[in-house]
Structure 1
Amino acid sequence: MKAPLFRIALALCAFAACAQPASQKAAREDSVQQQAATPAAPEALLAPGERAGKFRLGQDMDSVFSLLGKPDDGDAAMGKAWGIWYGTDTIAVYSTYADSNMNRRVARQIVVSGEGYRTVNGIGRNTPLETIRENFPALQPAATYVSDTHDTLWVYDAQAAGIAFDLRKKDGQLLCHAVTIHDKQEPVTATYLTIHAGWKKLP
């Protein structure tokens, strides 16, 4: 009797060992789904064509600087500029002069990558492309970038709504990496400077 009992115990241990990775994968998928279903707090709400939390399109850049301080990085040319603030929640703001007087700069695009930033339907970082499409049926590919390490970044834009998504592949599926809020009806690529420094845009 001892030998059969030993073999049964051994088989159960082997089964548990084989099942563990699958259960861990399921747990990760559940975590992603929970994140996608969780609405953002008001200070991190993504409103297409309007705002990303406390940062809004048309906001005076002096106000942005008072909230975030001096940018950690950026680029500027021809009256346009990107300011980038690195951190747990990396934020980038594209700005231009408000008018021909050229004495005031305002935000034209806002890019956020923090986990907490979500639309009212819970769309944000790590949301799968399929779920984004369900919420933004007019979503279209806007650009593709490759890095020196052969990584790929896909940009999808819901142009009319005023929201775009940077996506990267993880575990075989495209997941949101960052979200851009831009003016409604204007393509996300309508900037003189690119936020994707170090990436090569494919034709």
Structure 2
Amino acid sequence: MLRKFFLFATLPLIAACSSAHNEKKITDTDSTAVAAVEAKIEAPSPAYLIIPGKSIGNTRLNENLDSVMDKLGRPDKSDAAMGSSFHTWFAKHDTADYQTDIFAHHNYDGKHDDISYVKVIRVTSPAFKTAENLHTGLAIQDIARHFKLNHVATYTRGADSLKVYYDRQAGISFEIDNTGKCTGITVHQAGDSTMTYLSLYPDRKRVDIKK
């Protein structure tokens, strides 16, 4: 709490200095000060940490789906076909609240054909954060400072559109709404191109991207 108070208390001072010296370029000293403030941001607890290409909170990629359900409980919505399945959990079981989505499928490798493995994890709650303190609600510009984003899909519903950007090599995707804000974060295997064709929005129409 003290850290947050210190940060908010210094904002007016920083703004005043900026106004008085609006022609001043950013110096090494300024950059060091900004880095020092950012370093004070506490990392999220493991239960809310987003690790690109690996996990979100306590749910890991390639984890047995049965194990996930033991932890999260019975999903509020499920859909399955051809060895793949999609499951949704709503906070407080309220469809208007934040949600967690998991896409899973069987490997059919002849060894564990009966096991469905987690391949994609998506969250909409801002409580989940990356080590860089990135979470839903932030602007795409904030996210682009830390990841190499590529626009891979656009999904529409009436006049509303949702754009999906992903960093394939990192294994993370971000959905951006009409205002330029992030509304969902997805983790998938690093180097996997699944997000270029997988739709997590059954109520929306996919629009091809013009190259």
Q: Structure 1 length normalisation: TM-score? A: 0.75
2:152 and 2:196 in contact (8 A); partners too: no
In 1, distance between residues paired with 2:138 and 2:193?
21
1:187 Cα deviation after fit: 2.1
Secondary structure of 1:189's counterpart equals helix
Amino acid of the structure 2 residue aligned with 1:186: D
Amino acid of the structure 2 residue aligned with 1:197: P
* Fraction of identical pairs, as percent: 26
Q: 1:45 is matched with which residue?
A: 49
Which of 180, 185, 189 is 1:179 aligned to?
185
Which of 133, 150, 160 is 2:144 aligned to?
133
Secondary structure of 2:192's counterpart equals coil
In 1, distance between residues paired with 2:98 and 2:139?
19
Q: 2:117 is matched with which residue?
A: 106
Please provide the CA RMSD for this pair. Answer: 1.8
Q: How does 1:74-93 map to 2 (within 5 A)?
A: 74-87=78-91, 88-93=97-102
1:39 Cα deviation after fit: 3.5
How many residues are paired up?
A: 162
Which of 1 and 2 has higher RCO (CA within 8 Å, sep 6+)? 1
Q: 1:71 is matched with which residue?
A: 75
Q: 1:202 is matched with which residue?
A: 207
Q: Structure 2 length normalisation: TM-score? A: 0.72
Which of 38, 56, 59 is 1:55 aligned to?
59
Secondary structure of 2:142's counterpart equals helix
Amino acid of the structure 1 residue aligned with 2:125: G
Which of 70, 74, 97 is 2:106 aligned to?
97
Amino acid of the structure 1 residue aligned with 2:201: H
Structure 1 residues 141 and 190, CA, compared in 2 at 3 Å: closer, same or farther?
closer
1:146 aligns with 2:174: no
Structure 1 residues 190 and 141, CA, compared in 2 at 3 Å: closer, same or farther?
closer
Larger radius of gyration: 1
> What runs of 5+ residues in structure 1 fail to find an aligned partner?
1-33
